[in-house]
Each structure stands twice: as C-alpha cells, then as structure tokens.
C-alpha cells in the first residue's frame, strides 16, 4: 500500500461517493472513478523498487504528488464491444512445378470472435501461437489493414480519429530509437503527445513521473540500444514502450505480449501496472502467451482463441466453472488455469482416468491430430451454443444504452494536440540527437576528407594548359556530389518506417512536420561535408583563383547535393526497400555518368535526351560555365592559344543558357521532394 500521506496528496475521498471512490484530477476535467487498493500498491511497489536503488524517492516525491493522478484517471472511459469479428488473409498457393500465377486462396485468421470490455477492466487474450491474438488486438486497435467483417464499436461508435488519439497500442516488437536515453525517449514523446495547455516543464515532469511509475529510474540515463549495440534490458524496453503510451493517458490501452521474454517477477509487475491503469477507468486489453497463475488472477476477462475461433469469452474467474460444466476438468489439483486453457485451445482434453504422469506423456505425443481437431470443434460449438448468445444479447443491450451513446468520442476534439511548429521543433531536435552519431561519424568525415585530399593531389595545380584535366575535375565534382548524397538519403525513410508507422498511427504528429524536420535535420552535415571538400580540392586542384568563382562553384555543388538528396529520398520513400532503392540508384547514376557529356560527346540523337534528365549534367554545365569566361583562352600547343569555348568537350555542352540549367535543377529540387512526400503519404497504412 502507498503511504497514507501520499494517497492523500493524490486523491481526495468524498463523502457522497463512498469509501472506495476517489476523485482524480487531470488535465482537462475531474472524474470520479472507483479505485482499488491494489492499484496504489502495485504502482508504489514498482516505483519504490527502483527509487530505493537511487535513493530518489524522497527527492522526487513533491513533483510526483502534484501530478500523480494524471496517470490514473481516464479522461473518457471507453466501452469496447466486438461481435462476430472475422478476418481473412490472401495466400498465393505456390506449386512445386513451373506454373505461375496460381490462384490465390483465402485463409481465415479470425472467425466469429465476440466480447465486451468495459472501463476499469483488464482483458487478456490467450491462445496457442498462431491462433490470431495479435490479429484480433490489431483489429481492436483500428490498425488492421483490409476488410474486417463483424462489428467493433467504441462507446457504440465506429473507430474515429478522436478514438485513435485516445488509444495506446504497444506492439510486440518495441520500436524505439536506439541512440536516445530512456529519459529522452519519454520526454520527446511527452513533448509531442501532451496537449498544448501544459507547459514544457509540466510535460517533462510527466515523463519523469512515468519513469518512476514504471520503475525505470535506475536506467533513466541509459541508452535504449538496438541490434547493433546493447542498451537497456528487454523488460526495460517493454516498460519504455508502455510508458510512451501511458503518457497520453489513453482511454483504451492495447498491448501485444507485454510480458514475453521477461522473468516472472517483472512480468507480474507489468501486469500489476496494467491492472492499476485499468482501475483508473481505462479499458486495457493484452495478449499473453503463458501467464502464471499469479498473473492469471489479475485478469478480469479472458478471450481464448483456438485457430482463430473463440472457445471462451467472458469473466476470467468463471472459466474453470464453465469448462467443468462442459465436462472438462484439469484432472489434477492446483493446475494453472492458463495452462488448462491453452491445452484446451490446442485440443488437448485432459483424461481424468489417467494418472498425472500418464497424462503428461500422452499429451506430449503428436499423433492425435484427429482427436485434437474434433476436441477443438466440440469446444467451438459449445461456445457458440452457450456463451455466444449471452454475449450477443449483452452487446445489443449495451448498444441501445443511452448513457453509453451519450459518452460519444466524436465531436469536440481538436485534431492535433500540438501546433505544427512545436512538432517540427521537437522532431528536429529528436532527429538531430538520434542521428548525430551517423551524421558526424568519423568514418564519413574520413571518407570525404581522404577523397578530397587525394583528388587535390591528383589534380595538383592544374592550369588551363591542361584544360582536359580541369574539365575532368569539374565533372568529378558533379558526379561525386551526385552519388554521395543520393546513397546517404536512400536509407532515410526505409530505416525510419517502423517508427513513422507507429507514431503516425497514434496521431502523434503531422506527416508534413515530420518531413520538414527530417529535411532540415539532414541539412547541416549534407552541406558541411561538400563545403570542406570543395574548399580543399578547388584550391589544391588549381582552379580559377577567384573568390567569386570559388563561391559560385561551391553554391552550384551544394545545390546539386540537395537535388541528389531529393532523388535519394524519393527512391527510398517510393520503394521502401534499401536493396531495391540502391540498385535503382546505382543504375540511375551510371546513366547520368555516361550521359553527362564528359565521356561521350557524340551520343546518338535517339538516346541523347538522357542527359536532360540528369542533374549531374546541369551541374557540370554550370560548373564549366562559371569557371571559364567566353573570351578565355588556353594554350593548345605549338605556341598557339585557342578559345576555351572551342575546346570540344566544352563546346559540346552549349553553355549559352545558364539560367535554364539553374531552372532545371530547381524543378528537380522541388519535384523530387514533392514526389518523396507524396510517396510517404500514399505508403501510410489507412
Ligand atoms: N498478413 C498475413 N499474411 C499471412 N498470414 C497471416 C497474416 N496475418 C496473420 N497471418 C496468420 O494468421 C495466424 C494468426 O497470426 P497472429 O499473429 O494473430 O497469431 P498469434 O496468436 O498472435 O501468434 P503468436 O502468439 O505466435 O504471436 C498466423 O498463422 C499467421 O501466420
């Protein structure tokens, strides 16, 4: 139990609501909910566990006491009802022969699943692997693509954008930025998700609060980590993911396997927290693989799935009674109800005539498929005749309930909790922090510096008497700064896709604010490296010693970098596959290299148009155009001077219209970026 004085600071007991009711104040309103002692105890247990390690509990208590209630009261309770939910996926049946275009077959993943979950309840979905738990959870979260039959309603209404912002969804794989600390991860989530009316300090305080509440104090400053380097533990990652969703104070919280891979104590803490959140007036649904009996006792309701069909949906405490009424007994005492349910869902019916050891041996053998299938069918038909009619009549009754319908989630909602500018600023900062290791990586700087010094040495103090070499250096500028940004930019969106999907699905920010923040975040390094490169190589390479020409050369190359980056972003966003995008990019750059006008000057007319789609071609033309004036001459041998403009490689370029070249680059600069944005928008799950 929480210390009495702490309870008093968080809640006030009211005379007219009875001893078990407390008033919980939150951002926008005051609601009355029924609290259970277990909530306080579970949460305080977790907090104190970590706070003790740090000796922080005493220090943090004042801020905790002011806003503790925010995490405990749901703003708008949601009653979730689902009836006859069915979902199929299309599978192409591949034969072993040489035939192609085989007919597609549909596979039912969910079949007639129904249930009711009310505010304050914790529902667990149980079932063997592949039974459809994740699919059902995703459908209930409004995130399942494709056609779902049956009905899913939230306070009697269909899923809406308002509901989306009230829904927290924790996926099985934790999608987190590896290079942010736990505190940074939760602070950025708070800054993006909490409403405008809270100050920045208050939002940061909420993040701190979630850290304490989830027992993450000990690792608050540790990096999250990822596949390439180790960070916090699996259980801590899971708690960070839950914390991100808790921050928005969701009315409906859905979690996919929040305890998988965790030790039983940590799993117990997580489920206790979920139960605590439910008791604060939320509707909480979780899938779970193998709960211990301790965990099982914390569930209010369970849905048990077998091959996508329900065999039970209702109160968790009455499950044994129900199956006993059908004649199924665990066979021996003290069996974990969850184990019993999973056996049943697998079609393993306990044989009470056998001893315990015999049963284990019997069930372990795999040669009873027919028996198992007929047992499953029998359980499914028992569900249909016993539980289904009750559930459907409850759903119909509730659907007519005027109180439920009046608490509609539509209407009065603002679409975004924070302004465009606020989102842009936070996303920009987060992006810079997450990618600084990559942008400012020593390897990347070494790569550019070594190439610049090497090219400077190769072209060391070239002059116009070696015009072919000088023009070659300008062509090299245009090609190198076409390739390099293009290949860097290709990775941007495919790498960020899981995060983008997760955050956009919960309505965290606008796509445009993300997009512009990403563009702006990449700019410093995209521009600094070519600036260093050009500065070193230009002067070492003996190009025209004029400051104006140097600045113009630099500006042309920087613009070329931005155009090339735009193409990389567009390819990445359209294909969303790094391998495909890099293959296409290398073919494109090869075409640009060959058609750019340096290697081949007599391209057959039917393919000469290729150069007009090459940004490197325009860049090269502009570079040559600013390097040599129309009257400039070079030593063409035998003490003769020729006009640079008559040199074949330059003449071929037709340098008379620089404005058009600049306009072509500008069109590409805008066009590629618009294309990337549209591709991102179209690629979003609907
Ligand atoms: N898009 C899809 N394409 C093909 N099969 C799918 C698709 N979605 C789901 N399935 C299949 O549907 C079944 C149910 O999948 P689901 O992920 O919901 O199971 P689960 O009960 O959550 O399993 P687990 O406990 O192992 O995570 C699986 O057999 C899965 O292969």
Residue 24: inside a domain, yes or no? yes
Cβ of 134 less than 6 Å from ligand 1: yes
pLDDT given for residue 370 in this prediction = 65
Where helices occur in 511-640 by DSSP H, the ranges are: 511-540, 547-575, 578-595, 605-608, 615-627
Q: Are the CB atoms for 543 and 549 separated by under 8 Å?
A: yes
- Contact between 180 and 200 (Cβ < 8 Å): no
pLDDT value, residue 100: 53
Whether pLDDT at 624 is above 80: yes
What are the residues facing 126 on neighbouring strands?
304
64: in domain = yes
Cα-to-centroid distance, 235 and ligand 1 (Å):
24
Q: Does residue 512 belong to any structural domain of this protein?
A: yes
The answer to whether position 305 is within a domain reads no
| 129 Cβ below 6 A of ligand 1 | yes
Three-state DSSP state, 353: coil
Atom of ligand 1 minimally distant from the CA of 135: 18
Q: Which of 134-138, 328-332, 459-463, 558-562 is predicted least confidently? A: 328-332
Coil, helix or strand at residue 556: helix
- Tell me, what's the pLDDT at 353? 54
User: Highest-confidence range of 94-98, 106-110, 160-164, 285-289, by mean pLDDT?
Assistant: 285-289
Which residue did the predictor score with more confidence, 64 or 70?
Answer: 70
pLDDT of res. 494: 94
Q: CA–CA separation, 378 vs 367, rounded Å?
A: 19
pLDDT for position 314: 92
Please, which residues have CB within 8 angstroms of residue 311's CB and are 6 or more apart in sequence? 304, 305, 344, 345, 376, 379, 380, 382, 383
Tell me if 126 CB under 6 Å of ligand 1.
no
CA atoms 67, 72, 77, 82: torsion sign: positive
Which pLDDT band, with edges at 50, 70 and 90, does 612 fall under? confident
pLDDT reading at 35 higher than 60 = no
- Residue closest via CA to ligand 1's atom 10 equals 109
Among 17, 52, 70, the domain boundary falls at 70
Helical ranges in 214-318 per DSSP H: 234-246, 264-279, 293-296
The residues facing 356 across adjacent strands are none
Say what the pLDDT of residue 18 is.
Answer: 35
- Pick from 60-74, 306-320, 411-425, 518-532: least confident: 60-74
State mean pLDDT over 2-28.
35
Quote the CA–CA distance of 498 and 570 in Å, as a whole number: 18
Cross-sheet strand order for the sheet of 148-154: 104-117, 80-92, 148-154
Last residue of a domain, one of 38, 70, 102: 70
Tell me which of 87, 90, 108, 134 to substitute to probe ligand 1's pocket, judged by most ligand atoms within 8 Å of the beta carbon.
Answer: 134
203 lines ligand 1 (CB under 6 A): no
- Please give the structure tokens belonging to residue 236: 């801590």
Q: Is residue 317 part of a domain?
A: no
The CB of 132 under 6 Å from ligand 1? The reply is yes
410: pLDDT confidence band, cut at 50, 70 and 90? Answer: low
54: Cβ–Cβ under 8 A, 6 or more apart, which residues?
217, 218
- By the 8 A CB rule, do 192 and 426 touch? yes
Ligand 1 atom 31, closest CA? 130
CA nearest to 247, candidates 280, 206, 285: 206
Pocket perturbation via mutation, ligand 1, pick of 107, 130, 140 by most ligand atoms within 8 A of CB: 130
Q: Residue 444 pLDDT more than 50?
A: yes
- What tokens appear for 1 in the block? 């139990």
User: Quick check: is 543 in a domain?
Assistant: yes
**Confidence check: pLDDT of 29 > 50:** no
The answer to whether residue 81 scores a pLDDT higher than 90 is: yes
CB 629 within 8 A of CB 546: no
Judge whether 207 and 198 are in contact, CB under 8 Å.
Answer: no
Q: What is the DSSP letter of 103?
A: P
Average pLDDT over residues 590-612: 82
pLDDT exceeds cutoff 90 at 145: no
Is 249 a pocket residue for ligand 1 (Cβ < 6 Å)?
no
Residue with the bigger pLDDT between 587 and 437: it is 587
> What's the CA-to-centroid distance between 591 and ligand 1, angstroms?
43
Å from CA of 187 to ligand 1 middle: 34
* 429 located within any domain: yes
Whether the pLDDT of residue 564 is over 60: the answer is yes
Ligand 1 nearest-atom number relative to CA 131: 21
**Residue 291: CB within 6 Å of ligand 1?**
no
DSSP state of 38: H
Count of the separate structural domains present in the chain: 2
109 lines ligand 1 (CB under 6 A): yes
pLDDT in the model for residue 374: 83
| SS3 label, residue 23 | strand
Which ligand 1 atom sits nearest the alpha carbon of residue 109?
A: 12
Q: What pairs with residue 312 in β-bridges? A: 304
Counting ligand 1 atoms within 8 A of each CB, the residue from 92, 107, 109 with the most, and so the one to mutate, is 109
Considering only CA atoms, which of 652, 623, 665, 660 is closest in space to residue 480? 623
Residue ending a domain, among 40, 70, 100, is: 70
* Nearest-angstrom CA–CA distance, 349 and 329: 8
Triad 204, 210, 215: Cα angle to 5°: 130
Q: 641 C-alpha to center of ligand 1: Å? A: 76
| Band (407; pLDDT cuts 50, 70, 90) | low
**What are the helix (H) ranges across 576-628?**
578-595, 605-608, 615-627
User: Of 40, 28, 29, 35, which Cα lies nearest the Cα of 14?
Assistant: 35
Q: What value of ipTM does the predicted structure carry? A: 0.96
Is pLDDT at 598 greater than 90 in this prediction?
A: no
Q: 53-62, 506-515, 546-555, 602-611: lowest mean pLDDT where?
A: 53-62
**What average pLDDT does the structure give for the chain?**
81
392 CA from centroid of ligand 1 (Å):
26
571 vs 510: CA distance, rounded Å: 22
Q: Is 550 exposed, middle or buried (0-12, 13-18, 19+ CB in 10 A)?
A: middle
Residue 59 lies in a domain: yes
**Over residues 647-660, mean pLDDT:** 79
Percent composition of the chain: helix, strand, coil (DSSP 3-state, to 5): 55, 15, 30
Q: 391 and 115 in contact (C-beta within 8 Å)?
A: yes
User: How, if at all, do strands 12-13 and 21-25 pair?
Assistant: antiparallel
Residue 138 CA, closest ligand 1 atom number:
18
Instruction: Tell whether ligand 1 has an atom less than 6 A from the beta carbon of residue 127.
Output: yes
pLDDT band at 53 (very low <50, low <70, confident <90, very high): very low
| 254, β-bridge pairs | 169, 285
pLDDT reading at 21 higher than 60? no
Q: Which of 89, 127, 143, 305 is the best mutation target for the ligand 1 pocket, counting ligand atoms within 8 Å of the beta carbon and taking the most?
A: 89
Q: How far is the CA of 108 from the centre of ligand 1 (A)?
A: 10
- HEC per residue, 365-431: CCCCHHHHHHHHHHHHHHHHHHCHHHHHHHHHHHHCCHHHHHCCCCCCCCCCCCCHHHHHHHHHHHH
Q: pTM of the full predicted structure?
A: 0.77
Closest atom, ligand 1, to C-alpha of 91: 4
pLDDT at 609 over 60: yes
Mean pLDDT score, 147-171? 88
Q: Is 133 in the pocket of ligand 1 (CB under 6 A)?
A: yes
130 lines ligand 1 (CB under 6 A): yes
If you take atom 30 of ligand 1, which residue's CA is the nearest one? 130
**Adjacent-strand bridge partners of 306:** 309
Which of the 8 DSSP states describes residue 282? -
Q: What is the pLDDT of residue 43?
A: 39
Judge whether 50 and 216 are in contact, CB under 8 Å. yes
Cβ of 131 below 6 Å from ligand 1? yes
Q: Check whether 195 has a pLDDT greater than 80.
A: yes
**Judging by beta carbons within 10 Å of its beta carbon (0-12, 13-18, 19+), is residue 504 exposed, middle or buried?**
middle
The whole domain housing 22 covers 4-70
- Cβ neighbors of 540 (< 8 A, separation 6 or more) are 453, 455, 456, 457, 459, 460, 461
- 3-state secondary structure at position 13: strand
pLDDT band at 54 (very low <50, low <70, confident <90, very high): very low
With a 6 Å cutoff on the Cβ, whether 327 touches ligand 1 is no
CB 340 within 8 A of CB 359: no
């Amino acid at each position: 139990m929480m210390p009495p004085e702490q309870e008093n600071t968080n809640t006030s007991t009211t005379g007219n609501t009875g001893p078990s009711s407390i008033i919980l104040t939150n951002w926008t309103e005051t609601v009355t909910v029924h609290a259970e002692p277990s909530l306080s105890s579970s949460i305080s247990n977790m907090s104190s566990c970590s706070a003790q390690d740090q000796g922080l509990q005493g220090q943090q208590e004042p801020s905790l006491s002011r806003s503790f209630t925010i995490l405990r009261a749901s703003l708008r309770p949601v009653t979730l009802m689902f009836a006859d939910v069915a979902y199929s996926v299309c599978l192409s049946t591949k034969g072993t022969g040489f035939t192609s275009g085989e007919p597609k077959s549909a596979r039912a993943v969910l079949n007639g699943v129904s249930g009711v979950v009310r505010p304050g309840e914790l529902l667990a979905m149980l079932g063997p692997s592949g039974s459809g738990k994740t699919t059902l959870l995703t459908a209930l979260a409004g995130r399942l693509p494709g056609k779902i039959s049956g009905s899913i309603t939230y306070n009697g209404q269909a899923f809406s954008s308002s509901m989306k912002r009230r829904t927290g969804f924790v996926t099985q794989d934790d999608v987190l930025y590896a290079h942010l600390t736990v505190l940074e991860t939760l602070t950025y989530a708070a800054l993006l998700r909490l409403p405008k009316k809270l100050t920045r300090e208050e939002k940061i305080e909420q993040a701190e609060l979630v850290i304490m509440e989830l027992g993450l104090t000990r690792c608050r400053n540790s990096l999250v980590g990822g596949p390439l380097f180790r960070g916090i533990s699996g259980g801590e990652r899971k708690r960070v993911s839950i914390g991100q969703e808790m921050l928005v104070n969701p009315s409906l919280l859905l979690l996919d396997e929040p305890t998988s891979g965790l030790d039983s104590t940590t799993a117990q803490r997580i489920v206790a927290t979920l139960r605590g959140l439910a008791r604060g007036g939320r509707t909480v649904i979780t899938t779970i693989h193998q709960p211990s009996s301790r965990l099982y006792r914390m569930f209010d309701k369970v849905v048990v799935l077998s091959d996508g069909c329900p065999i039970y949906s209702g109160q968790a405490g009455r499950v044994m009674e129900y199956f006993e009424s059908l004649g199924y007994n665990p066979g021996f005492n003290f069996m974990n109800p969850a184990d019993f349910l999973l056996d049943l869902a697998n079609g393993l019916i306990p044989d009470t005539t056998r001893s315990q050891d015999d049963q284990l041996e019997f069930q372990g053998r795999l040669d009873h498929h027919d028996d198992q299938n007929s047992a499953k069918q029998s359980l499914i038909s028992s569900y249909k005749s016993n539980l289904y009619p009750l559930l459907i009549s409850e759903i119909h009754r509730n659907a007519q309930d005027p109180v439920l319908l009046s608490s509609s989630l539509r209407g009065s909602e603002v679409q975004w909790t924070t302004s465009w500018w606020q989102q842009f600023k936070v996303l920009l900062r987060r992006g810079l922090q997450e990618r600084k290791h990559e942008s400012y990586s020593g390897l990347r700087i070494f790569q550019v510096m070594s190439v610049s010094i090497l090219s400077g040495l190769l072209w060391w103090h070239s002059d116009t008497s070696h015009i072919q070499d000088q023009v070659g250096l300008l062509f090299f500028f245009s090609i190198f700064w076409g390739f390099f940004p293009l290949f860097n930019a290709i990775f941007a969106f495919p790498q960020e896709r899981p995060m983008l999907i997760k955050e956009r699905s919960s309505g965290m920010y606008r796509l445009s604010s993300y997009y512009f923040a990403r563009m702006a975040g990449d700019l410093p390094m995209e521009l600094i490296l070519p600036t260093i490169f050009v500065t070193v190589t230009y002067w070492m390479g003996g190009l025209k010693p004029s400051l104006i020409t140097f600045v113009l050369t630099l500006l042309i190359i920087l613009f070329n970098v931005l155009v090339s980056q735009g193409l990389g972003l567009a390819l990445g966003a359209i294909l969303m596959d790094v391998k495909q995008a890099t293959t296409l990019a290398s073919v494109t750059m090869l075409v640009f290299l060959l058609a750019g006008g340096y290697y081949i000057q007599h391209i057959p007319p039917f393919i000469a148009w290729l150069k007009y789609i090459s940004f490197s071609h325009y860049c090269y033309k502009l570079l040559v155009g600013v390097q040599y004036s129309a009257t400039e001459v070079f030593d063409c041998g035998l003490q003769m001077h020729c006009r640079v403009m008559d040199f074949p490689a330059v003449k071929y370029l037709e340098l008379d219209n620089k404005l058009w070249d600049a306009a072509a680059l500008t069109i590409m600069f805008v066009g590629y970026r618009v294309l990337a944005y549209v591709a991102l928008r179209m690629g979003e799950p609907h």
